[in-house]
């Protein structure tokens, strides 16, 4: 664990209420983690400390990026400054190998073959763009009989206005082209 100052670049996201904090070191060695409140972050000091910043509503970790979603009326400059201060003080003791426990998720290898195919399509077409914007997407449920896919937006995508319109239409269009022409994608 490094005690050197953390280099942080702050970048906007398509969501006007979310900012990406790109670090010069890993936040998570693998996977992703989204925390919707301090209770969910109780076992992660860095995430829990970020919730102490006035206006923070969600914290999302992915690789070397922390995406912070804030209330619409938050003062941006003080929020960014306070978040950077938290990152500087907590990163030296942060463990990037710590993962968020989520017992509801099944390992992909245990998923039905058609659901695995959907995940593969999302991995190579949709997720890279969402992750580049400080967000992500989780498939919550796939109902093959009803041809409905239920998804949950994470990070900056969680409260982004385009998530339920343009982005949703793009996801549905790609999955209809590459998987099933009658599939419906429903955000949760």
Tell me the pLDDT of the chain averaged across its residues: 90
Residues 6 or more apart in contact with residue 2 via CB below 8 angstroms: 25, 91, 92
Residue 99: per-residue pLDDT? 64
- Does residue 148 surpass a pLDDT of 50? yes
Domain range holding 182?
108-187
Q: Using the 3D structure, point to which of 66, 93, 120 is the last residue of a domain.
A: 93
Q: pLDDT tens for residues 26-62?
A: 999 888 888 999 998 988 999 999 999 999 999 999 9
pTM of the model: 0.74
Note the helical H segments in the chain.
Answer: 45-50, 76-90, 113-125, 127-132, 166-178
**Predicted confidence band at 1 (pLDDT cuts at 50, 70, 90)?**
very low
Report the C-alpha gap between 188 and 150 in whole angstroms: 6
Q: Using the 3D structure, point to which of 60, 93, 126 is the last residue of a domain.
A: 93
Residue 107: per-residue pLDDT? 62
Q: Using the 3D structure, point to which of 40, 64, 93 is the last residue of a domain.
A: 93
- C-alpha distances out from residue 119 to 45, 114, 131, 174, Å: 31, 9, 15, 12
Q: pLDDT tens for residues 95-133?
A: 998 765 443 344 677 889 999 999 999 998 999 899 888
Tally of domains in the chain: 2
HSE-up of residue 166 (Cα within 13 Å, Cβ side) = 7
Residue 82: per-residue pLDDT? 98
Residues 127 and 157 in one domain: yes
Strands 148-155 and 184-187: parallel
Helix (H, G, I), strand (E, B) or coil at 117: helix
Residue pair 60/34 in contact (Cβ under 8 Å)? The answer is yes
Residues 139 and 76 in one domain: no
Q: pLDDT tens for residues 54-102?
A: 999 999 999 999 999 999 999 999 999 999 999 999 999 999 987 654 4
Note the helical H segments in 91-185.
Answer: 113-125, 127-132, 166-178
Q: pLDDT tens for residues 165-184?
A: 889 999 999 999 999 999 99
Strands 184-187 and 65-70: unpaired
């Amino acid at each position: 664990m490094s005690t050197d100052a953390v280099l942080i670049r702050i970048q906007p996201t398509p969501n006007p209420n979310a900012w990406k904090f790109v670090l010069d070191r890993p936040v998570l060695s693998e996977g992703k983690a989204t925390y919707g409140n301090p209770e969910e972050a109780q076992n992660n000091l860095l995430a829990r400390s970020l919730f102490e910043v006035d206006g923070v509503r969600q914290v999302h970790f992915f690789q070397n990026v922390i995406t912070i979603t804030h209330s619409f009326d938050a003062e941006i400059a003080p929020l960014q400054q306070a978040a950077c201060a938290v990152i500087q003080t907590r990163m030296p003791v942060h463990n990037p190998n710590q993962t968020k426990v989520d017992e509801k998720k099944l390992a992909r290898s245990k998923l039905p073959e058609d659901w695995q195919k959907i995940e593969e399509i999302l991995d190579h077409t949709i997720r890279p763009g969402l992750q580049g914007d400080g967000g992500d997407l989780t498939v919550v449920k796939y109902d093959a009989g009803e041809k409905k896919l239920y998804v949950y937006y994470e990070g900056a995508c969680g409260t982004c206005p385009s998530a339920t319109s343009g982005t949703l239409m793009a996801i549905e269009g790609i999955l209809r082209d590459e998987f099933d022409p009658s599939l419906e994608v429903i955000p949760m």
